[in-house]
Chain A
Amino acid sequence: MNEHIHAKCEELLGSLSAYIDGDLAPALCQELEKHLEECDNCRIVLNTTKRTIELVHSSVEKSDLPDDVRERLFKRLNLDDFLQSNPNQSSNDR
């Protein structure tokens, strides 16, 4: 495990996040990609950051609102008469 990080890496670290989101200005994107070709550590940081975000996304897609929580919410909002209809059950994840 190499714990050393160069000044150039540090300078480009702040751009990794925007790079992952495809939101980096072309010139900086090119500079970063050139650096990634030469720097193992930054490539690892990029791969593992990307994977971290993917894991967060995958773990979230499997969650839903528990029925008892929905029931109490509808009662609190005096919407008991609409408890039976839940047309958006499978489409409420953005």
Chain B
Amino acid sequence: MPNEISLEKLMAGDRAEFARLVDTYSSSIYRLGLKTLGHPQDAEDVLQNTFLNALLHLSTFEGRSNIATWLYRIAANEALMLIRKRRPEVSLEQETQQDEVESLEGVKPRVFGDWSGLPEDELLSSEGKKLLDTAIYNLPEPLRIVFVLRDIERLSIKETADALNLTETNVKTRLVRARMYLRERLSKYYVERLSEEER
């Protein structure tokens, strides 16, 4: 980052520095909300609540993690709270999911066909992007938030673990499952398309 955010200025209540912090991370936080919740209004709520909370709790920031990880932690909590508020009835089902996401059981690919050579403009056509977004949104919640932080926001395994209060092993396990799940979804679609083209 060219001009690093000054923690000293932030702590001293420098509004211009806080505005710079907002501009530096707002796209990422908004995207986190969008990819996690799938709706622009929810993403905007996550964005606003994250920075309102950051403003409110800045004096308690101890600098043990970097400011970005701290913001992602607030944003992830906001996103998870909104998910639970939207779908309170799935809590029991998600308790079951919790056990499943911590193990690698069931990560078995079923679709084998190599579509990786298809051109990017075909894979990222508006239909392709929609498929990808839907597949991400359909990831079970504990996998989705890990995937969004690691593969969309490009946090390291350690930063992801810090932001979500998970162990690095948990993050790695969830990441494998999320990636395998998405690969399977995309493979189903593109392998079918490849076989249609061959006909």
Contact = CB atoms under 8 A, between A and B. Distances in A.
B187 interface: yes
B77 interface: no
Interface stretch (B57-65, B83-91, B92-100, B113-121): B113-121
A64 B124 contact: no
Interface string B93-137: 000000000001001111111111000100110001100100010
Contact of A44 (B2, B44, B113): B113
A65 B107 CA distance: 35
A83 to B, nearest CB: 9
Main SS class of interface, B: helix
Q: How large is the interface on A (under 10, 10 to 19, 20 to 34, 35 or more residues)?
A: 35 or more
Nearest to A89: B23
Given A45-B183, A53-B151, A82-B16, A73 B26 contact: yes
Interface in A1-58: 1-3, 5, 10, 13-14, 16-18, 21, 23, 40-41, 44-45, 47-53, 55-58
Main SS class of interface, A: helix
B182 interface: yes
Q: How large is the interface on B (under 10, 10 to 19, 20 to 34, 35 or more residues)?
A: 35 or more
Given A48-B183, A58-B124, A60-B152, A69 B24 contact: no
A68 to B, nearest CB: 9
B6 to A, nearest CB: 14
Given A3-B110, A88-B23, A93-B27, A14 B176 contact: yes
Nearest to B133: A59
A15 to B, nearest CB: 9
A85 B114 contact: no
Closest 10 CB pairs of A and B: A82-B19, A51-B116, A47-B116, A17-B176, A65-B27, A92-B27, A88-B23, A14-B104, A49-B183, A88-B24
B191 interface: yes
A51 B172 CA distance: 19
A88 B4 CA distance: 11
22 contacts: A1-B112, A1-B191, A3-B112, A14-B173, A17-B175, A21-B157, A44-B114, A47-B116, A56-B151, A57-B151, A64-B27, A65-B30, A69-B44, A70-B26, A77-B52, A79-B15, A79-B18, A82-B15, A85-B19, A91-B24, A92-B25, A92-B26
Contacts of B16: 82
A67 B180 CA distance: 35
A49 B68 CA distance: 28
Contacts of A55: 120, 123-124, 128, 132, 186
